[in-house]
Amino acid sequence: MQKKITLTEAEIPESWYNIVADMPNKPLPPLHPGTHEPIGPEMLMPLFPMELIKQEVTSDKWVGIPDEVREIYKIWRPTPMFRATGFEKLLGTSAKIYYKYEGVSPAGSHKPNTAVPQAYYNKQEGVKRITTETGAGQWGSALSFACQMFGIECDVYMVKASYEGKPYRKIMMNTWGANVYPSPSERTQAGRSILAKDPNSPGSLGIAISEAVELAMQADDTKYALGSVLNHVLMHQTVIGLEAIKQLEKAGDFPDIVVAPFGGGSNFAGIAFPFLRYNLEEGKSIRCIAAEPASCPKLTRGVFRYDLGDTVGMTPLLPMYTLGHNFIPAPIHAGGLRYHGAGAIVSQLLNDGLIEAQSFKQLECFDAGIKFAQSEGIIPAPEATHAIATVIKEAQRAKEEGTSPTILFNLCGHGHFDMGAYEQYLSGKLVEHEVTQDEILASLAELDTPLITNS
Ligand SMILES: *Cc1c(COP(=O)(O)O)cnc(C)c1O
C-alpha cells in the first residue's frame, strides 16, 4: 500500500472552485452596520483591491489562478497526501484514513494559499501597504511572507496575549520584513478606546480587526487583508480539495467523510467544497464535518443571524453562525479557533443541512494530537487536533456499526510554534473547559442586529 501520494507541479490546479455557483440557497448579502441596508461592492473599495471584491461577489463557478500565483504556490504545492497507516493501526479501525498535509508551506499552515493571491492582486492595483490582524500568528506570518514575495509593506496587529506569549511567531513575521504591533495599541482610535476602558486588555481578534481596518480606511495606498471568513478567501483555499481529489483518484479511493477544523471556515472550505460539489451536482452523499472547540462553539451552539466581523463595528454585518461579536474564549483554552463567527457561505450550508458540525473539549483534542504524532510522526497544530478528535470519533462509530468508511481530513498545519500548549498538556496543567449556556446567552443578548428568518 502506498503511504505518500504525491502530484507533479503540472497538477497544481489552474482554477479555484467557487461553490456559490452550485449552492441551492445563495449566501445572504452583507449589510451596512448603521442602516442595515445591503451594501454594494463600492463600500468595500477602501479595504480591498477591485479584483478581490469581484471574487467576493462572483457566482462564476471557476476563477483562474494567475500564473504568478501558481509560480509561488510551487514553493510548497502540490502538498502531499498520506494514508494514515500508523494511526489506523493504533486505533485498530476498519476505516481507511487519509490526510492532506498543509504544514509544508513556508508559514507552516494552509494560510499562504490565500495570502499569496491577496498580495498579488494588491500589487497589481498599486497598493503599497497591507494591514491585517493575527491571533496565534499563523495568518500574520502567511501574509508577511506573501507581501515580501511581491514587495509590499505589511503591518500586523497581533492580539496582545499572543504577542507576549508567542514571541517566535512575531520574529518570523519580522524576518519576512513585516511590522508587528501588539493589539490593542495606541496607534488607532479603536485601540485607544479599548485601552481607555481596560488598560490591561489582552486583546482579541475582533479588536485587532478593528485596528487594521481603521488604518486601511485612512490611507489611499493602504488596504486590508483577512485570512478567513470571506468568500474569496474560502475560494482560494479550494486548491487543497482539488488536489486531494486527484490524489485519492491515484490511490483508487473516494471519501465517505471529509473532516477539517473550523475557525472562520477557510481550511474547512478548502478541503470540503470541492467534494461537496459531488453532493450538489451528482447527488453523492459525502459527509463534510467541521470540528470546533467546546470553548468557542459557534456552529453547534451559536445562532444564525447578522453580526459584525469585528468588535468596534468597522465591518459590514455578515450573515453568520455567531456567539456574538463581543465573545472572547476563556484564556485557558489552548487550541486556537477562537473567532466568534463563521463565514456566510459555510453558515448558509450548515443552515441548509448540507454540512455537519461537531465540538470537542481540549483534553480530548490534545490527546488525539499526541496519538497522531506518535503514530504518524507529524506534530499537528492544536487547531488540527480538533479534526483528529473527530476522525477518532467517526472511526469508533464505524467500529460499532460494522462499517469501513474512507475518511479524509485536513492536517492544516504543524504545531512547531505551539510547544507551549503541548507543554501545558504534557505536564498535566491544561484543564478541561467548555463554555456555559449562560455565557453564550449573555454574549448573544448584546446583539441588536437583524435576525434571519428562514424563507
Ligand atoms: C488559521 C488557522 C485555522 C483556523 O482558520 P480557518 O479559516 O477556519 O481555517 C486552523 N488551523 C490552522 C493551522 C490555522 O492557521
Q: What is the pLDDT of residues 338-353, one digit of tens each?
A: 999 999 999 999 999 9
Ligand 1 centroid distance, CA of 143 (Å): 14
Structural domain tally of the chain? 1
* Length of the chain, in residues: 455
Residue 166 belongs to a domain: no
**C-beta of residue 13 within 8 angstroms of C-beta of residue 243:** yes
CA distance 279 to 273: 10
Longest dimension (CA), the chain: 61
pLDDT average, residue stretch 250-272 = 98
Cα dist. 86→51, 90, 377, 382, 411 in Å?
44, 6, 9, 20, 15
- Give the chain's mean pLDDT: 96
Ligand 1 centroid distance, CA of 337 (Å): 7
Strands 15-17 and 62-64: antiparallel
CATH of the domain at 329: 3.40.50.1100
Residue 38 belongs to a domain: no
Atom 10 of ligand 1: nearest residue by CA position: 383
Q: What are the tens digits of pLDDT across the range 155-192?
A: 999 999 999 988 999 999 999 999 999 999 999 999 99
Asked if residue 454 has pLDDT above 80, the reply is no
Asked if residue 337 has pLDDT above 60, the reply is yes
- The letter for the amino acid at 455 is S
Ligand 1 centroid distance, CA of 455 (Å): 32
CA distance 239 to 236: 7
List, in order, residues 6 or more apart from 112 with CB less than 8 Å away. Answer: 76, 105, 106, 142, 145, 146
Atom 13 of ligand 1: nearest residue by CA position: 413
Ligand 1 atom closest to residue 102's alpha carbon, by position in its atom list: 13
Q: Which residues of 30-55 are buried (b: 16+ CB within 10 A; e: fewer)?
A: bbebeeeeeeeeeebeebbbebbbeb
Q: What are the tens digits of pLDDT across the range 387-438?
A: 999 999 999 999 999 999 999 999 999 999 999 999 999 999 999 999 999 9
For residue 273, the tally of other CB atoms under 10 A from its CB is 31
**C-beta of residue 453 within 8 angstroms of C-beta of residue 34:** no
Which domain range does residue 282 map to? 3-9+66-108+232-445
Q: How confident is the model at residue 331 (pLDDT cuts 50, 70, 90)?
A: confident
Ligand 1 centroid distance, CA of 261 (Å): 7
- Write down the H helix ranges in 155-221: 160-165, 167-175, 189-197, 205-218
Ligand 1 centroid distance, CA of 383 (Å): 7
pLDDT at 313: 85
Going by C-alpha positions, the residue among 145, 127, 90 that lies closest to residue 396 is 90
**C-beta of residue 231 within 8 angstroms of C-beta of residue 269:** no
**C-beta of residue 186 within 8 angstroms of C-beta of residue 203:** no
Ligand 1 centroid distance, CA of 413 (Å): 8
Ligand 1 atom closest to residue 138's alpha carbon, by position in its atom list: 15
Q: What are the tens digits of pLDDT across the range 90-125?
A: 999 999 999 999 999 999 999 999 999 999 999 999
CA distance 99 to 410: 6
pLDDT at 382: 97
Ligand 1 centroid distance, CA of 189 (Å): 28
Asked if residue 301 has pLDDT above 60, the reply is yes
Ligand 1 atom closest to residue 381's alpha carbon, by position in its atom list: 13
Ligand 1 centroid distance, CA of 382 (Å): 10
**C-beta of residue 55 within 8 angstroms of C-beta of residue 20:** no
Residue 390 belongs to a domain: yes
Residue 269 belongs to a domain: yes
DSSP state of 340: S
CA distance 384 to 382: 5
Radius of gyration of the chain measured on its C-alpha atoms: 20
Ligand 1 centroid distance, CA of 266 (Å): 7
Ligand 1 atom closest to residue 229's alpha carbon, by position in its atom list: 7
Asked if the peptide bond before residue 78 counts as cis, ω within 30 degrees of 0, the response is yes
Atom 4 of ligand 1: nearest residue by CA position: 263
Q: Which grid coordinates are listed for 19?
A: 461553490
Ligand 1 centroid distance, CA of 400 (Å): 31
* Helix (H) or strand (E) segment spanning residue 318: strand 317-322
Asked if residue 455 has pLDDT above 70, the reply is no
Ligand 1 atom closest to residue 111's alpha carbon, by position in its atom list: 15
DSSP letters, 95-133, are: SEEEEEE-TTSTTSBSTHHHHHHHHHHHHHTT--EEEEE
Counting ligand 1 atoms within 8 A of each CB, the residue from 79, 111, 365, 386 with the most, and so the one to mutate, is 111
pLDDT at 407: 98
Sign of the CA dihedral with 270 first, then 272, 273, and 278 last: positive
pLDDT average, residue stretch 298-325 = 93
Ligand 1 atom closest to residue 227's alpha carbon, by position in its atom list: 7
List, in order, residues 6 or more apart from 182 with CB less than 8 Å away. Answer: 157, 158, 159, 160, 163, 164, 203
pLDDT average, residue stretch 323-338 = 89
pLDDT at 163: 95
Q: Which grid coordinates are listed for 117?
A: 493571491
Residue 411 belongs to a domain: yes
Residue 114 belongs to a domain: no
Ligand 1 atom closest to residue 337's alpha carbon, by position in its atom list: 4
| Ligand 1 neighbours (beta carbon < 6 A) | 109, 111, 138-139, 228, 261-268, 337, 381, 383-384, 412-413
Q: Which grid coordinates are listed for 331?
A: 484564556
pLDDT at 308: 94
Residue 82 belongs to a domain: yes
Asked if residue 453 has pLDDT above 80, the reply is no
CA 231 to chain CA centroid, nearest Å: 12
Residue 424 belongs to a domain: yes
